[in-house]
Structure 1
Amino acid sequence: MAHAHVNFLGGSPLNRLSWLRSSQDFLNAIAALPQTRWVLFNAGSPLVGQRDAGPYLAYLSTKEVKPILGSKPFFGQGKEIGTYLQADEVTTHTEAARHLNSPVVFLGLHEDHGKTGALPSSDFADAQAAVKNIEGTAYFSLDVASLDKSSEELEAFLQSTETASNGVKLSFSEPRSVMNKLDLFTSGIFAEARSMVDWNERNKFCPGCGSPLYSMWGGWKLACSTLLPWAPKTNKKPCITAKGLHNFTHPRSDPVVIMIAVDETGDRILLGRNKKFPGKFYSALAGFVEPGESFEDAVLREMWEEAGVKVWDVRYHSGQPWPYPASLMVGFYARADASAPIRVDLDNELEDAQWYDRSKILSIINHPDGTNLSPKTFNDEYDGKTAGTDLRSKPIDAPPFRVPPTTAIAGVLIRDWAEGKIGFDVDKKGKL
């Protein structure tokens, strides 16, 4: 498409400084800054504060989270607690290693007025001095589930924070229920943080040899514990991760195509109702990209498998990170013949699929309840819990069905087409 669209959860506001993730001096220095902020999760549920306007994503200082970080150094940990890696122990397998405590993720730096600019590694020969010149706020994240603490211990920790002492009620909340309370800035930080702590939490053992993994590079790389300089020597073959580049040692993003078929007149679109969707909820069709496919290939395959519809003229719209846990939604439109029969009996994922004209879709998205999903039904939709009806109290004039809000890329695709932001001429040639 000709225009550029930044979706909710996208448009990361941080300079991620990826080239400095391997610097233990940089990470330790920036973590210690008083303005540094931390985003906490508990098994993927974010820490939120309560205020009159509703819940918001809570940020804690390093001083506040210090009780759960473990002993210094936080990065570049040596064999024993409280020791640093020695010069001869720093290798590509130990850079900024954090093997003694739960993983911590460096999210990036929010720069004030763009004054900081790029920070080459050479600027950090003296990390403490260089970090003092940074104008901005660094963000880190961690998941307290890895601490193996009881709910009482976690509550005591939260109550001990300065934020709580200032009267803010802190609690861990179901992530999707607070999404509509996030602004664009916070949503970008949330998306990065949740995906990264989830990746660190899920991957505990080396796919190469089965040994425990540990965190490196500020949470952006995992390494096999057999590669630590002090690891016991055995008669086994060295772990395959000792050499080469391996995709399982770095964070993953799972590409998902999400698409809407537009008929040959340009005035109707195809929406589907998944069997797992709550109530009368219709959305764009979607599916994971399979190995050996381009995005366009996946659009053609998924449209055929889910609805029995042949499509052509595939056009890209925009992308959206979806941190549940680590999907990258890639949005498309495609043309299709609306006179061809719809089939939902191929992969049996859809309960129904229908063509809707522009006036019908506009009536839904302009209805006060047309894109309104309660946290309960929103969670059911994405967690795979079948719900025959929306459990919220419905108004008398409830819409005949609902579509996603524009916090999801499906809602953006639907709205942009309905409001004429995406132009489609009459297709006289038909399927190629």
Structure 2
Amino acid sequence: MFSRLFSQRLRSCGKTMMSSQLTRLQRARLSSLPLRSATSNALIPRLSRSHSNFFGGAPLNRLSWLRQQQSFLNNLVPLPETQWLVFHDGRPLVSTERGSKAPALARLSTADVRSLLGPEPFFGQGQTVGGQAAASDVVALEGARLRGPPIVFLGLQEPPSSERRALPSSEFIAKGESGLTDVFANIEGSAYFSLNVTDIDQHTLDAALQNSAAGKRGAQLAFVDPRSAMGALDYTSANIFAMARSMHDWNSRNKYCPSCGSPSYSQWAGWKLGCSSLLPWAQQTEGKKPCVTAQGLHNFSHPRTDMVVIAATVDPEREKILLGRNKRFPPGLWSVLSGFIEPGESLEDAVKRETWEEAGLEVQDVQYHSSQPWPYPATLMAGLYAVADSSKPTRTDLDNELEDVRWYSREYILNILEKYGATHPSMERERSPDAPMSFPDTNAIGGVLISEWAYGKAGQDG
């Protein structure tokens, strides 16, 4: 008995040792093999691959650890390379050059927007207007902006050929203003800020735009609907736009401390909200406890992102896809199913719940594809694939959110894509108005999931 157990352990130990000696290449080969279903042992083609979606890509080095450093921020603003995005009530400023019909996201210089920024210092503002920036050890005033229109520091766009250079926050604490010359010598590229001009007088705003470099050369500057602006964005500007718009939305929605009700104010160059009852000069009521935000980490003090699952459900043979029509969709539009993640849910749990609630189907083999920031107003879309039995009946009467839900064959979807155009990224023509159905464009992850399944790309390593 003992010898048999010893032999089994020895064989097990040998397998463990062999496994630990797998090379990186061998592991990569193993990871590319098809998966096996946990229920049927059947081979399952991989549905996920590396993919960067529109609004993603992270072209900026956000330098998040320097948002508290007013010495850094205040010296970054006047640099001639610094660029500004401008928003009015969530609408971005776009520029159309004279003789062109193609608008682009407007990028203004500090000189262009200087009349709109208010008095210096721009960050680390104290009680007195026009006073010196607060000392770096005053926690309540780190990167604080108490007056003037809201500003968000977005990051640094570095040259494509350069490596990201670390600028530790200790440099600014230890050296102070005297060491900034050496620190800025290590910066390459253009800093990006975003300005919210919603509360600025219209005459003042118009004058600033007319006197900007773009205005003087005859470019048309206009604030446009944020969703319509997607057509004016390339992949680089799309991510910068998404970050800026979501941040301004968060700042504008949270005017009061949710803990004590006091007015809130901007810290960390727009990335944190402080409670005004904790400012150094704020009068304290005797016997009243300080706001709970005085200590600890509180999620309502920092930007929030709402998580959504969006899943393309296919049949076990991968030849059919489940599409639904939301009651609010434009005529003819169909898409994959989606829904917000609820507390206590994993991505997989949310996909299973949403598909059941909206279509009355049970899914399995949920696999991750990719994610996409969605700045309307601040959502992260987690794209997935799932498998369901297409022979089972569907139903829309559970949560009554969908107008209709149906299975479509790959052949049918491909015919629409190729005949009428729609989501395939290589198609330059617009979607035909007489198409029997339409899908989200591939600048939305729903369109990506449909397109990659239809063209057989889902599952390829790329």
TM-score above 0.5: yes
Kept in 2, the 8 Å contact 1:365–1:403? The answer is no
> Per the alignment, in what secondary structure is the counterpart of residue 319 of structure 1?
strand
Using the TM superposition, give the Cα deviation of residue 85 of structure 1 relative to its aligned residue in structure 2, in angstroms: 4.3
1:114 aligns with 2:162: yes
Matched, 1:49 2:95: yes
CA RMSD, aligned part only? 1.9
Distance in structure 1 (CA, Å) of the matches to 2:328 and 2:164: 47
Partner of 1:172: 223
User: In the alignment, does 2:147 pair up with 1:95?
Assistant: no
CA shift at 1:2, angstroms? Answer: 5.1
Matched, 1:337 2:389: yes
Shift of 1:369: 4.6
User: Which secondary structure state, in structure 1, belongs to the residue aligned with residue 408 of structure 2?
Assistant: strand
The count of residues paired between Structure 1 and Structure 2 equals 400
Q: Is the 8 A contact 1:223 1:249 kept in 2?
A: yes
Report the equivalent of 1:276.
328
Which amino acid in structure 2 is aligned with residue 190 of structure 1? F
Question: Greater Rg, structure 1 or structure 2?
Answer: 2
Asked whether the equivalents of residues 416 and 422 of structure 1 are also in contact (C-alpha less than 8 Å), the reply is yes
Secondary structure in 1 aligned to 2:123?
Answer: coil
Match of 1:378 in 2: none
| Letter in structure 1 aligned against 2:85 | V
| Counterpart Cα distance in 2 of 1:166 and 1:148 | 24
CA change 1:98–1:128 in 2 (3 A) is farther
Report sequence identity in percent. 55
Tell me which of 99, 110, 117 is aligned to 1:62: 110
SS of residue paired to 2:141: coil
Q: Which amino acid aligns with 2:57?
A: G
Q: How does 1:290-305 map to 2 (within 5 A)?
A: 290-305=342-357
| Structure 2 contact 116–205 (Cα < 8 Å) conserved | no
Residue 228 (1) aligns with residue 275 (2): no
C-alpha separation in 1, matches of 2:132 and 2:137: 10
Structure 1 letter corresponding to 2:156: L
- Residue 138 in 1 paired to residue 191 in 2? yes
Measure how far apart 1:158 and its partner are. 1.3
Matched letter for residue 39 of structure 1: L
Match of 1:346 among 398, 413, 424: 398
Aligned with 1:175: secondary structure? coil
Distance 1:358 1:326, change over 3 A: same
Say which SS state the counterpart of residue 93 (structure 1) adopts: helix
Which letter does structure 1 place at the counterpart of 2:194? S
Question: Deviation digits for residues 352-376 of structure 1, max 9, x if unmatched?
Answer: 011000011112222345359xxxx
Whether the aligned pair in 2 keeps the contact of 1:318 and 1:332 (CA below 8 Å) is yes
Identify the residue that residue 411 of structure 1 maps to in structure 2. 447
Deviations 1:178-220 (A, max 9, x none): 2122111111111111111111111111001111111111110
> Which residue number corresponds to residue 244 of structure 2?
193
**Structure 1, unaligned runs of 5 or more:** 373-392, 425-432
Q: Which contiguous aligned blocks of 4+ residues in structure 1 show a shift greater than 3 angstroms? A: 367-372
Say whether the 8 Å CA contact 1:37–1:137 is kept in structure 2: yes
Judge conservation of contact 2:76–2:82 (CA < 8 Å) in 1.
yes
Match of 1:198, SS state, is helix
Offset from partner CA, 1:122-141 (integer Å, 9 cap, x none):
33332344224411000000
Gaps of 5+ in 2: 1-46, 425-429
Match of 2:73 among 8, 17, 27: 27
TM-score by length of 2: 0.83
- Tell whether the 8 Å contact from 1:321 to 1:327 is kept in structure 2 after alignment: yes
In the other structure, the counterpart of 1:402 is 438
> Partner of 2:65: helix, strand, or coil?
helix
Rounded Cα–Cα distance in structure 1 between residues aligned with 2:85 and 2:104: 12
Contact in 2 for aligned 1:300/1:310 (Cα 8 Å) = yes
Distance in 1 separating the partners of 2:106 and 2:235: 15
Aligned with 2:68: secondary structure?
coil
Alignment-derived partner of residue 262 in structure 1: 314
Amino acid at match of 1:267: E
Question: Is 1:57–1:182's contact at 8 Å kept on the other side of the alignment?
Answer: yes
Shift of 1:306: 0.8
CA-to-partner distance for each residue in 1:158-178, whole Å, 9 max, x for gaps? 112122011111110111112
Greater CA deviation, 278-287 or 359-368?
359-368
Q: CA deviation at 1:234?
A: 1.5
Residue 422 (structure 1) aligns with: 458
Task: Pick closer, same or farther for the CA change 1:134–1:357 going to 2, 3 Å.
Answer: same
Change in CA separation of 1:109 and 1:394 when aligned onto 2, cut-off 3 Å: closer
Q: Does the aligned pair in 2 maintain the 1:46–1:172 contact within 8 Å?
A: yes
C-alpha spacing 1:368/1:320, structure 2 compared with 1 (3 Å) = same
Match status 1:251 vs 2:299: no
Distance across 2 between alignment mates of 1:95 and 1:362? 55
Residues 26, 128 of structure 1: 8 Å contact kept: no
CA deviations 1:385-426 (Å, max 9, x no partner) are xxxxxxxx996x7111000110000000001101111249xx
Q: Corresponding residue for 1:380?
A: none
Q: Say whether residues 1:215 and 2:266 are aligned partners.
A: yes
- 1:120 Cα offset (Å): 1.6
| Code of the aligned partner of 1:303 | T
Contact 1:41/1:172 (<8 A) preserved? yes
Between the aligned partners of 1:344 and 1:293, the Cα distance in structure 2 is 22
Taking structure 1 as the reference length, the TM-score comes to: 0.89
2:126 is paired with a residue whose SS is coil
Residues 263 and 269 in structure 1, CA contact (< 8 A), matched pair in contact too: yes
CA gap 1:341/1:78 in 2 versus in 1, 3 angstroms: same
Give the Cα separation in 2 of the matches to 1:394 and 1:139: 35
| Equivalent residue, structure 2, for 1:159 | 210
